[in-house]
Amino acid sequence: MEDILLIDAAERFVNGEMSAEEKIYFEDLRKNNPELDQAVVEQLFFLNQLNQYSDHKNFKSLLNEVESNLINENFIAERSHKPTAKIIQLWHRYKKTIAVAASIAGFVSILMASLVTTVTTKNDNNINPLVQKINEQEDKTRKIEKKLDQLAEEGAVANTPTKPTLNSSFRATGFMIDAANNYLVTNAHVIKEATHRLIIENNAGEQFNATAIYVNAKNDLAIVKITDTNFRRLPNLPYNIRKNSVELGEQIFMLGYPKKEIVYSEGYVSAKNGYQLDTSYCQLSTAANEGNSGSPVISKNGDLIGIISSEETNATGVVFAIKSINIYRAIEEVKKQKQYSNIKISSNPSLKGVDRVNQVKKMEDYVFMIKGN
């Protein structure tokens, strides 16, 4: 949260201007985040000091106004001032006010520096994007696999299947939004990792070239097009991409690639808004790991309701997902590019009323590992 938003939230909290839901959420944030709580306490102290100073100034102003009126109506005589003593008299008269003003100014400077430091630390440490960086051991494994592929091509190893050969530096997840034209969605922070090459890999381990055609860092969304001619087009999506909001307590499940095979997890919607009440996100109570960035969030009726983006590091099982309505907004932006104006969501929902095992089977082909370097 920017410092001005924190100040505004604290003022609204003190003045009782928050709704019941906002107040509960804000108090929970304070309980679970000592840094936020300390910043709010400091803000409340500052507001109290500021109000006291304002009352003091108003009282002084009122006294001066009364004195002027009495002088004008000849009830009292105007005090004579020696020119040489003017500065000394002003100092004696206003030294307390000046001291208070100086204290307030110093306090404001310290507080604002503290708020900026707190907010910066929060943004850096409390939210963790769920992209998995490939470690050194996996890099060694890839090199061995690449050598086996070379031997297979030379005929030295008979009947050895071709394995992935891209030396990727990260792993995440994406899923299909337009099966007719081979478009996927993932997170913008995922695409940021691919500075040279972008690859998608299906659940059979087949890899295909792809390119990012839309990246929006603000909404943390990216749209990717599969450009590989070897990719076999899939039937229409078995899930519907929801336009309306999520429901509190709604049961969900996810599919993603926190490791080299597709992984299932489940949970529920624990808050309608995301970190620091961001309305573009919802909060989930579930397990997510590095590699889950870009994973689809599916309701029990088979509606796609969100895209996994990050987790809160100082709370267990608190995961944030971008609401699915943002996919439609991204598509409208992409359509402005003439070469991609054919993008559309082509779905044939078939997950409703199906048991969970078969829901997962129907979805597996539409969820991909995103890799690159």
Same domain, 198 and 311: yes
Domain that holds residue 267: 169-373
Same domain, 59 and 180: no
pLDDT at position 163: 43
Same domain, 121 and 187: no
Same domain, 327 and 212: yes
Q: Which helix (H) or strand (E) holds 48?
A: helix 34-72
The strand pairing partners of 210, in sequence order, are: 226
Same domain, 187 and 278: yes
Considering the chain, what is the average pLDDT of its residues? 80
Closest CA to 127 of 321, 298, 297: 321
| Dist CA 310 CA 293 (whole Å) | 7
340 has pLDDT over 60: yes
Specify if 136 maps to a domain.
Answer: no
Specify if 161 maps to a domain.
Answer: no
Mean pLDDT, range 203-211, rounded to an integer: 94
Dihedral angle sign, alpha carbons of residues 48, 50, 55, 59: positive
Kindly report whether the global pTM for this prediction surpasses the value 0.75: no
Same domain, 105 and 189: no
Specify if 147 maps to a domain.
Answer: no
Same domain, 21 and 114: yes
Same domain, 189 and 82: no
Same domain, 176 and 111: no
Same domain, 261 and 121: no
Mean pLDDT, range 146-161, rounded to an integer: 52
Same domain, 72 and 190: no
pLDDT in tens, 22-33: 777 777 777 777
pLDDT in tens, 54-102: 777 777 777 777 777 777 766 666 665 554 455 556 556 655 555 555 5
- DSSP string over 86-139: HHHHHHHHHHHHHHHHHHHHHHHHHHHHHHHHHHHHHHHHTEEE-PEEP-HHHH
Same domain, 116 and 229: no
User: Total domain count for the chain?
Assistant: 2
